[in-house]
Amino acid sequence: MKAKRIPPCKVGVITLLLFLTATASLLGAEPVPGILTVHDSLTSPNQPATIEATFTQKGLPTGTGLGGEPIELVIAGNVVATATTGGDGRAVLSYTPKAKGALPFTVRVGTTSSLAGVEAGANLIVWERRGPMMAVEMTALMEDAVSRRPMPDAAEELAKLTQFYYNVLYVVTQDKTVATYDQVNEQARQWLKEQKFPVGHILVLPAGPEGFGAKLDELHAAGWKTLKVGVGRTKAFAEAFLQRRLSAVMVPEPAKGEAPRKAKVVKEWKDVRKKM
């Protein structure tokens, strides 16, 4: 029997329908994965901490948030808070720690979502407000920005300073033309962990002479008034402290004329404690 010929117009319609059906099936079976990001949070014992997570869709323009997704905050294996992302992909979770210390935590997409399993981690830093604090510029921990090798004795000496006395803030600047805030934050966290530096609170600040000065004022206004000393590599970092009548130590020894008049200067990390 002679096969019935299908008109060209109908062939086109059938082909289009098959294509759309296959595409819809593919998207339904394999949702585009999301990226979950979170940053360190700083608080005091028995004071609520605000932890902000951002859930964006991978492969789409930066800032494309995934709204309506359940987010869980997990500490020590337990879900301690939940929230739902808004239209911008942000979810704000609250948790009140009881004791001081550094609490590793995870935020993850809840099991009721088709994107369950996506997660990210950071630290909840819990310090007594009366405890002494020091800030360390990340570049002062490295021999140079290219090799990213740690300065000799830096990890060991910083461990001694933080073991019984100081709480440490790690300060890293962000060049927006090179990397996003989240990328800089994660790179800093990973490097500090790999090089065995003590756990501290990571601050990612915009590049520029006023970046850390503004943050110092913000911390002071928020009640963190025991930040008295900064150990850094750059002139701008040292000047931010000196302008507020705080102590600044520069390591390694800068080029002639690069150290502000009242800054303390040392050649290597094993001499930093002598200037504190």
Domain match, 188 and 235 both: yes
**148 lies in a domain?**
yes
Domain match, 157 and 202 both: yes
What's the domain count of the chain?
2
- The whole-number pLDDT of residue 63 equals 56
**1 lies in a domain?**
no
- How do the pLDDT tens digits run along the chain, 276 residues long? 444 454 444 334 333 333 333 333 334 434 557 889 898 899 999 999 999 999 988 765 455 788 999 999 999 999 999 999 999 999 999 999 999 999 999 999 998 888 888 999 999 999 999 999 999 999 999 999 888 999 999 999 999 999 989 999 999 988 776 777 778 888 999 999 999 999 999 999 887 767 889 999 999 999 999 999 999 999 999 999 999 999 999 999 999 888 999 999 999 999 999 998
List pLDDT tens digits, range 155-180.
Answer: 999 999 999 899 999 999 887 767 77
Domain edge (last residue) among 126, 158, 188: 126
Domain edge (last residue) among 81, 98, 126: 126
**19 lies in a domain?**
no
**63 lies in a domain?**
yes
**229 lies in a domain?**
yes
76: domain CATH number is 2.60.40.10
Domain edge (last residue) among 126, 153, 169: 126
Domain match, 139 and 265 both: yes
**194 lies in a domain?**
yes
Domain match, 118 and 249 both: no
Domain match, 246 and 155 both: yes
Residue 90 C-alpha from the chain's centroid? 15
Task: List the domain range (segments joined by +) for residue 100.
Answer: 34-126
257: domain CATH number is 3.40.50.1000
Strand 49-57 to strand 34-38: parallel, antiparallel, or no bridges (unpaired)?
Answer: antiparallel
Domain match, 109 and 144 both: no
Domain match, 227 and 105 both: no
Domain match, 204 and 99 both: no
**4 lies in a domain?**
no
Residues in the chain: 276
Domain match, 249 and 142 both: yes
Q: Rounded to two decimals, what is the model's pTM?
A: 0.80
Domain match, 58 and 164 both: no
**15 lies in a domain?**
no
Domain match, 112 and 86 both: yes
Domain match, 167 and 236 both: yes
